[in-house]
Amino acid sequence: MASCYRSGRNENGHWNEEPGLRAGDAMRKSGFFLVALIMTIPITDAAVRGESFGKMPDGTPVEIFTLRDGATEARITTYGGIVVSLKTPDRRGQPADVVLGYDSLQGYLGGNKAFLGAVIGRYANRIAHAAFALGARKYSLPKNDGENSLHGGTRGFDKVVWQGKAIANGVELTYASPDGDQGYPGKLTATVRYTLRGSTLRIEYSAVTDAETVVNLTSHSYFNLAGEGRGDILSHELRINASRFTPVDQTLIPTGELAAVAGTPFDFRKATAIGQRINAENEQLRFGRGYDHNWVLDGKAGDLSEAAELYDPGSGRVLKVFTTEPGIQFYSGNFLDGTIQGKGGKVYGHRSGLCLETQHFPDSPNHPAFPSTTLRPGQRYQTVTEFRFSTR
């Protein structure tokens, strides 16, 4: 049964957790029957609540955790580590859900080909020809994007049930990916911690392995700061703190070049409306059907620094993305085509949401000059991303 916890800071300023009355015991003493997993953790102004989100076809239970602090609320499910909803107020104080998604587990089990809101792994983005080598050994992966492997393969981390537990201000998700999973070597144990403090949703990724492997984790939330299902994102203004990006070939695999953004439609060093240049005559835009590229961040990898800022003039909502990662993939929702019916039956049309995926570069295992994604036994993969919301 679930437990309830009282949390606070000790005299050293660190968080501690103190077990309280077990929910099952409390329910039995009250004479009620516990029909669903429910837990609530009050932490100053924040609260965390876990409950049932349904079951997988094989009967495996799935939970959803609601994180709330003031006017900001995030809901995260153990299936795929998905951010199901993220509510934040506009300049008038009116809240809206700013991420695309489904109302129920069944929506996500229907395929979720767009990876709405999911944790992506073992390897976010694309790996060329669905193969890479570590030392003298070559590994083959599922081909699920033409000749390439995309977002971890046909059953990546977005399609598995993670073990979830409530923590101070958030939820911790853990998944043990066995050796050979989707072709990747080594048993990889990954942990993703979502915490909400004020209007900041923080995501901490970590992983360890028992054999040399590669890993690249990210979040694939689609943002629309006007509110999900409320038109496209072309009037959103975007700034990316990057002087270079990684050009791609026709299959969206990096060529290996780190190209300057100056003088191109990829220059977002100053806030620019996304729709202003998205249809420009440009080979890279043709390849991506819009923006679907990795930017090389100017900040020092490993330091938590500002990567991007997104602003919706209509609602006044601002999203700032901070990360320790060396790159960010800006995807302008080019393949959303109106076939997805999301929350409340809303139709997600062309470019009705955008992704800002903090990451190592695509196809890094096949590009020795790119920052390495190799993880060895005894090492710990660890990255942090923060989504900070405000208004103006």
Task: Decide if 330 contacts 355 (C-beta within 8 A).
Answer: yes
As a dihedral over the C-alpha atoms of residue 164, residue 167, residue 169, residue 172, rounded to 10 degrees, the angle is -40
Cβ-based neighbour number of residue 230 at 10 Å: 17
Question: In the numeric block, which tokens belong to residue 392?
Answer: 């103006």
Task: Decide if 49 contacts 63 (C-beta within 8 A).
Answer: no
- Whether 11 sits among the annotated catalytic residues: the reply is no
Cα atoms in the Cβ-side hemisphere of radius 13 Å centred on 82: 30
Specify the amino acid at residue 7: S
The 3-state DSSP class for residue 124 equals coil
- Whether 357 sits among the annotated catalytic residues: the reply is yes
Strand partners, 73: 68, 87
**Residue of 265, 342, 344, 330 lying closest to 296 (CA atoms):** 330
Separation of alpha carbons 63 and 53, rounded Å: 5
Task: Decide if 293 contacts 266 (C-beta within 8 A).
Answer: yes
**Residue of 11, 35, 13 lying closest to 23 (CA atoms):** 35
Please list, residue by residue across 301-330, b when 16 or more beta carbons sit within 10 angstroms of its beta carbon and e when fewer do.
eeebebbbbbbbeebebbbbbbbbbbbbbb
Compute CA distances 328 → 148, 250, 360, 385, whole Å: 20, 20, 8, 11
Residue among 63, 228, 325, 357 flagged as catalytic: 357
**Residue of 172, 189, 290 lying closest to 233 (CA atoms):** 290
Specify the amino acid at residue 241: N
Residue among 220, 236, 360, 367 flagged as catalytic: 220
Residues 6+ apart with CB under 8 A from 62: 52, 53, 54, 55, 56, 77, 78, 79, 105, 161
Catalytic residue ranges? 220, 357
